Structure 1
């Protein structure tokens, strides 16, 4: 008898795939129809296998279709009816915001107990929302509207200008000289923007800029 939920697992770590496969095997209603280690393998599977729920890592480099938001956007466009569960180690609220904007309702933090995987697969199949505890805590840092949807943080024009220049490679001193502002003003505007984005580290600011296209804009503008 055919099982109810057909699942594809995508992760660039073989041990993760093995562990999740073993976990999902405990659910009689779930049938693992394929596994992939990068976006190239994943897209080939989606073209050849019937799949109800995709259980995928967020950061999965090495494939020709990229990873992160770029890959998820591609998959959402090509397979609009495919339900998706995203697994991630990234604790950046702006990344979660980008995932939610794609109407992906089920997100798991890899720091949480693996048992949440089965619950998330069932929730995704039924069109429900499921955030694991750590992901749920991160979601509380987001700016949500009355419908529970994530809104873009309202950065001022000057804050956006400072962030664009910073991620393009300029230092705070160089930005201050370029914009004819004091170093203190630029530092304050950068700090304010990062607070609104829920970002604490410069490395995460670069990730945000890459995911939102801000870095590409900055590079092309210079």
Structure 2
């Protein structure tokens, strides 16, 4: 890309927005051209201001286009040339993997030094992947050594969404209605997820969700998830 890289930030916490924008000052050639606190504001900015790279929080409720996987999927479909850096506190490796499947190749954990944001922006501008140290550690932790072989504990996108909706307070029946799936299918997906995670009780599932940040996401459902066969 020629000239300055035009960057837009999206985060519902003003302090994070300020810190992230300030961190970019140390990187010549990066120009912040807009900021948003929820998806409605973000999409409006992207429709009216030329932008090369978006740095966006993953959990950013309250907007018309949702947050989390739903928002990322929408942005990938409607702004395909936009490079995306996800800024998040989540360390759920399965969710991070799903971001990769949606085309997100750069993820920075807010607990890491914010200078990683600038490095991530530079990397995606050159079509290179980037993960900050905490994110890399979470992805590495996904792989479990067993019998000398490397195996992965991985929830499918649909299983992950069912778990997230369940721990948000929805019943199996409510989830089935929301996702237009049978109660039996939703129950099976929940049970399969628990079996993969080595969890036997709902209370343990809530503990897993809390420790992995799933309770911080809003209850919006990804269009990609809802449309899966």
- Return the offset for 1:152: 8.7
Residue 5 of structure 2 is matched in structure 1 by 5
Residue 171 of structure 2 is matched in structure 1 by 169
- Return the offset for 1:28: 2.2
Closer/same/farther in 2, CA of residues 50 and 210 from structure 1, 3 Å limit: closer
TM-score by length of 1: 0.70
Residue 17 of structure 2 is matched in structure 1 by 17
The structure with the largest alpha-carbon Rg is: 1
* Higher mean displacement: 21-30 or 36-45: 21-30
**Whole-Å Cα distance in 2 between the matches of residues 54 and 129 of structure 1?**
14
**Whole-Å Cα distance in 1 between the matches of residues 141 and 117 of structure 2?**
23
**Whole-Å Cα distance in 2 between the matches of residues 28 and 193 of structure 1?**
46
- Return the offset for 1:189: 6.4
Give ranges in structure 2 of 5+ residues lacking alignment: 144-151, 173-183, 185-190, 200-204
Contact 2:41–2:63 (Cα < 8 Å) also in 1: yes
TM-score by length of 2: 0.68
Contact 1:210–1:216 (Cα < 8 Å) also in 2: no
**Whole-Å Cα distance in 2 between the matches of residues 104 and 40 of structure 1?**
20
- Return the offset for 1:105: 0.4
- Return the offset for 1:30: 0.5
Contact 2:71–2:222 (Cα < 8 Å) also in 1: no
**Whole-Å Cα distance in 1 between the matches of residues 155 and 58 of structure 2?**
25
Higher RCO, 1 vs 2 (CA within 8 Å, ≥6 residues apart): 2
Q: The residue matched to 2:171 in structure 1 has which SS?
A: coil
Residue 202 of structure 2 is matched in structure 1 by none
Residue 138 of structure 1 is matched in structure 2 by 138
Q: The residue matched to 2:196 in structure 1 has which SS?
A: helix
* Matched length: 188
**Whole-Å Cα distance in 2 between the matches of residues 152 and 78 of structure 1?**
32
Residue 153 of structure 1 is matched in structure 2 by 154
- Return the offset for 1:103: 1.4
Give ranges in structure 1 of 5+ residues lacking alignment: 144-150, 171-178, 180-187, 218-222
Pairing 1:54–2:54 present: yes
Contact 1:3–1:31 (Cα < 8 Å) also in 2: no
Closer/same/farther in 2, CA of residues 192 and 212 from structure 1, 3 Å limit: farther
Q: The residue matched to 2:26 in structure 1 has which SS?
A: coil
**Whole-Å Cα distance in 1 between the matches of residues 22 and 80 of structure 2?**
28
Contact 1:9–1:36 (Cα < 8 Å) also in 2: yes
Counterparts of 1:181-196 in structure 2, within 5 Å, are 191-195=194-198
Residue 105 of structure 2 is matched in structure 1 by 105
- Return the offset for 1:110: 0.8
- Return the offset for 1:95: 1.4
Pairing 1:77–2:77 present: yes
Q: Write out per-residue CA displacement over residues 134-154 of structure 1, whole angstroms, 9 at most, x where no aligned residue.
A: 0001111346xxxxxxx9937
